[in-house]
Structure 1
């Protein structure tokens, strides 16, 4: 796996070491909590015919939540460039000869024009402050007929309100972000010259073996400074926890936005 560093000043806000450590601890302690998200993501990737993609870019790879799935679905001769501005997060990306790791924003990655079949961004695009410039860069590096898939918390959902009204005031590094919805996606695609294919919201509840596991997970993955009783109250107020088939679920959903590059 090759590693390339570049300017981190624009693009996805870098995770601090503290946030990266909390994210890793939560993910390790509850590895199946977001299994429904993986199902959602895999369906979107297969719809985009990832098995035929020879060059893929992942924007906001984090610690590799989706990277392992991409490597599993990609052809053996394909290449994957993982863009992640935080070295603390990128340190946990998997080792694979097909993977090049770039510690930078997409707009600083210097990827050649018309060279990429598929761009994927999962649970990261809301961090990007220069969304229009990023869309322009996506159009530039995509080949004709190439696809951009953005999967993220959607504006107007419970998950977006959790970020805005719980994570933002209770996380030391803050979390102020603009989330996509279909209207915002259409504006960005129209202005950048990409074609908006479709947008939809899919329910992807997070599942746990106990309420305590749910609360510890929420505290760790979002680096919340509140104590566990307060987190339980915040989850009750914002994410509609239920017990379903022996598992404890908290409400979550993802917006899926798909674009293509076409001059037709």
Structure 2
């Protein structure tokens, strides 16, 4: 049996959900982005990789309606708990890593969605090759993630990797590698859209609180450590409605 490490263990999962509960409005632009790029439609079958605690899952479930089917995939039972507690009838929960995705015979997907989780996938080529067999002709594969060589990858490599309680040993995509992956696994050539999503906060110090909770800082790394590195590596600006930081 192959052992897969679950990065979002109890402590990190608790901290992650606390961040979203404490700042429920900060990801407004991310939700709009999901609707723009995934565009879930009534009656569709969609697979969500790295569903976490269901931030996007319930909006997708509502959009596809009772005739649709949403398959949510995440290896962490702690992360999935909110979905288990309030899952709609059209949601199927699969507690497993992306490498172990398997669907019932005859299931064909209209779309596959992953936001901020694909850099955790260890065997990207194997996963995309496996998913291709479940995809309808012309199915949409929408991956919103951090790419190498960006401000965000620098923030994760320089700050999150050392401050997070579970570490952050991941592999980010590059555009050339993404093109190669799609060609090797039977997907059409990808289209890239560079997004600078803004995370919204009422106070500047809230950015440090949110980031330290989201990434489950070790005790020796304070909210201010996260805030200072975010300002240095990502950029923070004041607006008429509050404070913005570049998000994922």
Distance in 2, matches of 1:215 and 1:64, equals 23
Counterpart residue number, 1:38:
31
Distance in 1, matches of 2:57 and 2:222, equals 32
Q: Does 1:9 align with 2:3?
A: yes
In structure 2, the CA distance between the partners of 1:213 and 1:241, relative to structure 1 (3 Å rule), is same
1:146-179 per-residue CA deviation (whole Å, 9 max, x = no partner) reads: 1211111222221111111100011121102111
TM-score of the superposition, structure 1-length normalised? 0.86
1:207-226 superposed matches below 5 A: 207-225=200-218, 226=221
Counterpart residue number, 1:191:
184
Distance in 2, matches of 1:140 and 1:228, equals 44
Highest RCO, 1 vs 2 (Cα 8 Å, sep ≥ 6): 1
Q: Does 1:119 align with 2:112?
A: yes
Structure 1 position 83, deviation (Å): 0.6
The secondary structure found in structure 1 opposite 2:148 is coil
- Count the aligned residue pairs: 243
Q: Does 1:206 align with 2:199?
A: yes
Structure 1 position 211, deviation (Å): 1.6
1:40-119 superposed matches below 5 A: 40-46=33-39, 50-51=40-41, 53-93=43-83, 94-111=86-103, 112=105, 115-119=108-112
Show structure 1 runs of 5+ residues with no match: 1-6, 254-264
Superposition CA RMSD, Å: 1.8
Counterpart residue number, 1:151:
144
In structure 2, the CA distance between the partners of 1:115 and 1:9, relative to structure 1 (3 Å rule), is farther
Q: Does 1:228 align with 2:223?
A: yes
Correspondence for 2:245 among 239, 250, 264: 250
The secondary structure found in structure 2 opposite 1:63 is coil
In structure 2, the CA distance between the partners of 1:233 and 1:106, relative to structure 1 (3 Å rule), is closer
In structure 2, the CA distance between the partners of 1:21 and 1:8, relative to structure 1 (3 Å rule), is farther
More strand as a share of residues = 1
In structure 2, the CA distance between the partners of 1:224 and 1:37, relative to structure 1 (3 Å rule), is same
Show structure 2 runs of 5+ residues with no match: none
Correspondence for 1:238 among 233, 241, 246: 233
Aligned residues of 1:106 and 1:137 also touching (Cα < 8 A)? no
Aligned residues of 1:8 and 1:103 also touching (Cα < 8 A)? no
Distance in 1, matches of 2:121 and 2:150, equals 19
Structure 1 position 52, deviation (Å): 5.0
TM-score of the superposition, structure 2-length normalised? 0.91
